Structure 1
Amino acid sequence: MKLFVSRALPDSVMEAAAEHFEVTCRETTQPMDLDECRAALAEADVILPTLGDAFGADAFPGEIRARGLANFGVGYNHIDVGAARAAGLVVTNTPGAVTDATADIALTLILMTARRAGEGERVVRSGRWGGWHPTQMLGLHVTGKTVGIVGMGRIGQAIAHRCRAGFGMEVVFYNRSDKRIDGARQLGSVSEVCAAADVVVMAVAATPETRHLIDADALSAMRPHAILVNIARGDVIDEGALIDALRDRRIAGAGLDVYENEPVVPDTLMTLENAVLLPHLGTAALEVREAMGRMALDNAIAIAEGRTPPNPV
Structure 2
Amino acid sequence: MPENNRTRLLIARKVPAAVAKRAETEFHAFVTDADMDSQSVVEFCKQHDVPAVLIGKKSGLQAEHIAALPASVKIIANASAGVDHMDVAFAKARGIVVTNAPDALTECTADFSMLLVLAACRRASEYERIMRQGWGKSFGMTEMLGMRVNGKTLGIVGFGRIGRAVARRAQGFGMRVIYTDIQRAAPEVENGATFYSSFEDMLPHCQVLTLHVPGGGVPLMTKKEFGLLPKGAVFVNAARGGLVDEDALYEALTSGHLFGAGLDVYRNEPNVDPRFAGLDNVFLTPHMASATVETRDQMGFTALDNVAAVLDGRPALNRV
> Please, what TM-score do these two structures have when normalized by structure 2?
0.91
Maintained 8 Å contact 1:232/1:258: yes
Instruction: Say if 1:235 and 1:52 are closer, same or farther in 2 by CA, change over 3 A.
Output: farther
Partner of residue 231 from structure 1, selected from 226, 234, 238: 238
Query: Letter of the aligned partner of 1:140 in structure 2?
Result: M
Maintained 8 Å contact 2:24/2:31: no
Partner of residue 279 from structure 1, selected from 286, 294, 297: 286
Maintained 8 Å contact 1:51/1:73: no
Aligned match of 1:4: 10
Q: CA deviation at 1:301?
A: 1.4
Q: CA deviation at 1:195?
A: 1.2
Aligned match of 2:64: 58
Partner of residue 291 from structure 1, selected from 293, 298, 303: 298
Aligned residues: 308
Query: Letter of the aligned partner of 1:254 in structure 2?
Result: A
Which range is displaced more, 268-277 or 45-54? Answer: 45-54
Instruction: Say if 1:17 and 1:63 are closer, same or farther in 2 by CA, change over 3 A.
Output: closer
SS of structure 2 residue aligned to 1:60: helix
Question: Hey, what's the Cα distance between the residues in 2 that align with 1:129 and 1:60?
Answer: 59
Question: Hey, what's the Cα distance between the residues in 2 that align with 1:40 and 1:223?
Answer: 53
Question: Hey, what's the Cα distance between the residues in 1 that align with 2:174 and 2:197?
Answer: 23
Q: CA deviation at 1:107?
A: 0.5
Q: CA deviation at 1:214?
A: 1.2
Partner of residue 75 from structure 2, selected from 68, 72, 78: 68
Question: Hey, what's the Cα distance between the residues in 2 that align with 1:253 and 1:291?
Answer: 33
Aligned match of 2:198: 189
Query: Letter of the aligned partner of 1:284 in structure 2?
Result: A
Q: Residue deviations 1:76-134, cap 9 Å, x none?
A: 11121101111221011112221111000000000000000011111221235512321
Which range is displaced more, 103-112 or 132-141? Answer: 132-141
Q: Residue deviations 1:115-155, cap 9 Å, x none?
A: 00011111221235512321221111000110000000010
1:48 corresponds to 2:54: yes
Instruction: Say if 1:82 and 1:135 are closer, same or farther in 2 by CA, change over 3 A.
Output: same
Aligned match of 1:39: 43
Instruction: Say if 1:117 and 1:59 are closer, same or farther in 2 by CA, change over 3 A.
Output: same
Q: How does 1:203-282 map to 2 (within 5 A)?
A: 203-208=212-217, 211-282=218-289
Maintained 8 Å contact 1:113/1:253: yes
Q: How does 1:104-123 map to 2 (within 5 A)?
A: 104-123=111-130
Query: Letter of the aligned partner of 2:56 in structure 1?
Result: T
Question: Hey, what's the Cα distance between the residues in 2 that align with 1:6 and 1:136?
Answer: 51
Aligned match of 2:134: 127
Structure 2, unaligned stretches of length 5 or more? Answer: 1-6
Instruction: Say if 1:52 and 1:35 are closer, same or farther in 2 by CA, change over 3 A.
Output: closer
Q: Residue deviations 1:267-301, cap 9 Å, x none?
A: 11111111111111111111111112111111111
Structure 1, unaligned stretches of length 5 or more? Answer: none
Query: Letter of the aligned partner of 1:106 in structure 2?
Result: S
Q: CA deviation at 1:238?
A: 1.6
Instruction: Say if 1:177 and 1:272 are closer, same or farther in 2 by CA, change over 3 A.
Output: same
1:13 corresponds to 2:19: yes
Q: Residue deviations 1:196-253, cap 9 Å, x none?
A: 1110000112244xx4111111111112210111111111112222122212222111
Query: Letter of the aligned partner of 1:199 in structure 2?
Result: V
Q: Residue deviations 1:22-67, cap 9 Å, x none?
A: 32223225xx434234335534321111235332223222242311
Question: Hey, what's the Cα distance between the residues in 2 that align with 1:197 and 1:262?
Answer: 27
> Please, what TM-score do these two structures have when normalized by structure 1?
0.93
Aligned match of 2:156: 149
Instruction: Say if 1:150 and 1:52 are closer, same or farther in 2 by CA, change over 3 A.
Output: farther
Instruction: Say if 1:143 and 1:87 are closer, same or farther in 2 by CA, change over 3 A.
Output: same
Question: Hey, what's the Cα distance between the residues in 2 that align with 1:198 and 1:38?
Answer: 48
Q: CA deviation at 1:192?
A: 2.3
C-alpha RMSD of the superposition:
1.7
Aligned match of 2:4: none
SS of structure 1 residue aligned to 2:61: coil
Which range is displaced more, 187-196 or 49-58? Answer: 49-58
Query: Letter of the aligned partner of 2:214 in structure 1?
Result: A
